[in-house]
Amino acid sequence: MVIAICGYTGQGVETAGAILSEVLRANGRRFRTWRDFSTIIRGGLTSFEAYVDEDTGGEAPARLHAVDVAVVWDRQAAERYRDRVRHVTGLYGAATVDGVPNANRDVLDPVGFNLWALGVVACKLGLSPEDVQAAAMAHFHQRVNLEPLHRGYAKAAGSTSSGPVQASDAPDTAILSGNDALCLGAIHGGVRIYCGYPITPASEILEYMAAWLPEVGGRAYQVEDEIAAIHMAIGASYAGMRTFVATSGPGIDLMTEGLGYAATIEVPLVVVDNQRGGPSTGMPTKTEQSDLRHLLYAGHWEFPRIVLAPTGVVDCLAVIQEALNLADLHQCPVLVALDLDLALRRISVPWETVNDALMRVPALRGRTVLPPASVHGYRRFAAEDGGLPWRTVPGVRGGGYVASGDEHDERGWMEPDFQSVRPTLHRRRLEKVHCVRYDRPLTPVGSPEAPVCLVGTGAMGELIHAAVAAHPDLYRGVLLRQLWPVPADGLLAAVAGAREVVVCEYNATGQLAHLLATTVPDGGCRTVRRYDGEHYTVEAFLAALEAAGETLHGRVRG
């Protein structure tokens, strides 16, 4: 069942969504939420949607176009959902809204609208009024007038109801967004220090870290800008502590110089880019996957990097830990490409699943030498055995060296004979990512016999799952987790035998398709792209796939 609540920012639509989610969680229901943003703090149109108990093939229900119940505050909100409700009887709203069936209208106050709407959808979802009431009371610390909630319930019960649904057997369920998962994974992976600067949609990461880190002896700092954030992270990492930074568009630009510096001094550094609509300040509250080229190529060259991307919310728990490991193992920057949808999407997940994903990745620190160890005849940047050099951190006796962004020799000295240093040290540094051994560079979906192979990352994951579930004989999928270096062998194997490869991405220029074009056999692939800031619903995605064969941007060649 798909439900929606739509009103104005400031009316508490998000609050209603949060209360609803909590009751759904406590009942062990399977769901995914979606919320709409606006740069307008008070007065912009805003929606909350929940996709409950639908099975679209992935970790949680994917977004669907068809809505069962939509509760709208005014005419503009009604416009949004009129075409999406399966039947007009699914439309509920304030008495002033034309087009809402008479039986579904009520005289509403702007302040109580959210609770009324909560009553309507909770009833339709078969949630018990007691549960919802208790959750609301808890949320508002008892200080709330619940009358609209009850009226909403009554209104919905009056019409055809779907009847109470049994709570599932596994009520130990968590609600998790991509941002949550990232933070949990990071802390589990040993992160105890975090420096961040607010930016949509990465602010939550700073906020979670500020709330949680002190509980485990850690510290979060809100710093003055993204340049400070990345350089503080470099400092902390140099000093042996695990950390990462997260930002979005404008912030990732500002981190460019730090990226090359970390790579040059061979300090582990994990950078998360919660991509949003570009370019420039762009569409801060809208999703996009358009920073890939920057992540791959930004920074005056030439230095190594690894680029990862999670395939879903639960995967974030693992990817951030894997990123921390790869950064330590390769002593280089590891970039994690997230997107707004994946970062903010909330899903219900059995705690068991969270726990398993958290535990699956053991922390690997590679050749990091921590105090109280000591070393002798130490040369920080020497790697005689063809592997990586050993990295000491302050406090290790005999381990002193200087980490310089100037080109340097094996001891770190900045005025070496470049002609002897470059072919050895510089090449080693560049080539160390040629041998990245990443456990699961990609996740195949569906049957290897299906003729059309859909390739995507991040928020495309749930859609590819849904397409494969809808047409298992036609579609299979590849969810890429390692974007750079391109896992050519795995990709070739995964697309083997496909009649057609379709790269699906949220951007205008086909950045992923261009990256993969030289790897995909027959030198090309079709693309499905969207760049108006909206997510595909499953229905729209399937339609776009169908159209792709004929009309879309044609083949991308390497």
Partner 1 sequence: MTLDLKAYENGNRPTWCPGCGDYAVLKVIQRALLELGIAPEDVVLVSGIGCSGKISHYFGGYGVHTTHGRVLPVAQGIAAARPDIAVIAAGGDGDGYGIGVGHLVHAVRRNLPLTYVVMDNGVYGNTKGQTSPTSPTGYRSSTSPHGNADEPVHPLRLAWSAGATFIGQGFSGDIRHLVELLKQAVSHPGFALVNVFSPCVVFNKTHDYAFYRRSVFYQETPARSSAELIQLLETHPFPLGVLWRTDRPAAARLETGPADAVPSDCMRRWLRGTLG
Ligand X SMILES: Cc1ncc(C[n+]2csc(CCOP(=O)(O)OP(=O)(O)O)c2C)c(N)n1
107 binds ligand SF4 (CB under 6 A): no
- Residue appearing with tokens 């398709």: 513
User: 41 or 107: whose CB is closer to ligand SF4?
Assistant: 41
441 CB-side CA count, 13 A? 19
CA distance 287 to 203: 15
Query: Residue 130 CB, nearest distance to ligand X (Å)?
Result: 41
CA distance 22 to 30: 12
Contact between residue 274 and residue 338 where contact means Cβ atoms under 8 Å apart? yes
Choosing from 172, 352, 356, 406, the residue that interacts with its own copies (CB under 8 A) is 406
Contacts of 187 by beta carbon, 8 Å cutoff, 6+ apart: 212, 213, 216, 218
Query: Residue 279 CB, nearest distance to ligand SF4 (Å)?
Result: 24
> What SS3 class is residue 424?
helix
467 binds partner 1 (CB under 8 A): no
User: 411 or 557: whose CB is closer to its own copies?
Assistant: 557
Peptide linkage before 201 cis (omega within 30 of 0)? yes
Contact between residue 533 and residue 283 where contact means Cβ atoms under 8 Å apart? yes
42 binds ligand SF4 (CB under 6 A): yes
Alpha-helical runs (H) found in 507-552: 511-517, 538-548
Class of residue 443 by CB neighbours under 10 A (exposed 0-12, middle 13-18, buried 19+) = middle
Angstrom CA distances, 172 to 29, 325, 367, 412, 433, stand at 10, 30, 39, 52, 41
222 binds partner 1 (CB under 8 A): yes
User: Of the listed pieces 280-288, 321-329, 463-471, 483-491, which binds its own copies according to CB under 8 A?
Assistant: 280-288
Choosing from 7, 12, 148, 260, the residue that interacts with its own copies (CB under 8 A) is 260
Identify what 551 binds: ligand SF4, ligand X, its own copies, none; CB under 5 to 8 Å per kind.
none
CA distance 31 to 176: 11
Residues 14-33 that bind partner 1 (CB under 8 A): 22, 25
User: 134 or 228: whose CB is closer to ligand X?
Assistant: 228
437 binds ligand SF4 (CB under 6 A): no
Choosing from 125, 187, 335, 503, the residue that interacts with partner 1 (CB under 8 A) is 187
404 binds partner 1 (CB under 8 A): yes
Kindly report the number of other CB atoms within 10 A of residue 402's CB atom. 12
| Strand 173-177 with 193-196, pairing | unpaired
Q: What binding mask, one character per residue, do residues 176-215 give for ligand X by CB under 6 A, x or -?
A: ---------------------xxx----------------
Alpha-helical runs (H) found in 422-506: 427-431, 460-470, 488-495
Identify what 241 binds: ligand SF4, partner 1, its own copies, none; CB under 5 to 8 Å per kind.
partner 1
Residues 34-93 that bind ligand X (CB under 6 A): none
Residues 36-65 that bind partner 1 (CB under 8 A): 39-44
- Residue appearing with tokens 């339709």: 124
Query: Residue 533 CB, nearest distance to its own copies (Å)?
Result: 5
CA distance 542 to 470: 9
Size of the site for its own copies (CB under 8 A): 66
Size of the site for partner 1 (CB under 8 A): 92
Q: What binding mask, one character per residue, do residues 27-66 give for its own copies by CB under 8 A, x or -?
A: -----------xxx---x----------------------
CA distance 467 to 464: 5
User: 243 or 287: whose CB is closer to partner 1?
Assistant: 243
Identify what 378 binds: ligand X, its own copies, ligand SF4, none; CB under 5 to 8 Å per kind.
none
477 binds ligand X (CB under 6 A): no
| Strand 524-529 with 556-557, pairing | antiparallel
Concatenate the DSSP letters of all residues of 217-243 into one string: T-EEEE-SSHHHHHHHHHHHHHTT-B-
Print burial letters for 449-468: b (CB count within 10 Å at least 16), e (below 16): ebebbbbbbbbbbbbbbbbb
Q: What binding mask, one character per residue, do residues 245-274 give for ligand X by CB under 6 A, x or -?
A: -----xx--x--------------------
Residues 219-238 that bind ligand X (CB under 6 A): 226
198 binds its own copies (CB under 8 A): no
Identify what 299 binds: its own copies, ligand X, ligand SF4, none; CB under 5 to 8 Å per kind.
its own copies
41 binds ligand SF4 (CB under 6 A): yes
403 binds partner 1 (CB under 8 A): yes
Nearest to 263 by CA among 229, 306, 319: 306
Residues 306-365 that bind partner 1 (CB under 8 A): 346, 351, 354-355, 358-359
Nearest to 429 by CA among 393, 403, 394: 403
Size of the site for ligand X (CB under 6 A): 8
- Residue appearing with tokens 């759904």: 24
User: 13 or 118: whose CB is closer to ligand SF4?
Assistant: 13
370 binds partner 1 (CB under 8 A): yes
Q: Which residues bind its own copies (CB under 8 A)?
A: 38-40, 44, 248-250, 252-254, 256-257, 260-261, 263-265, 273, 275, 277-284, 286, 290-294, 296-303, 404-407, 414-415, 418-419, 422-423, 426-427, 430, 507-509, 511, 517-518, 531-534, 557-558
Q: Which residues bind ligand SF4 (CB under 6 A)?
A: 41-42
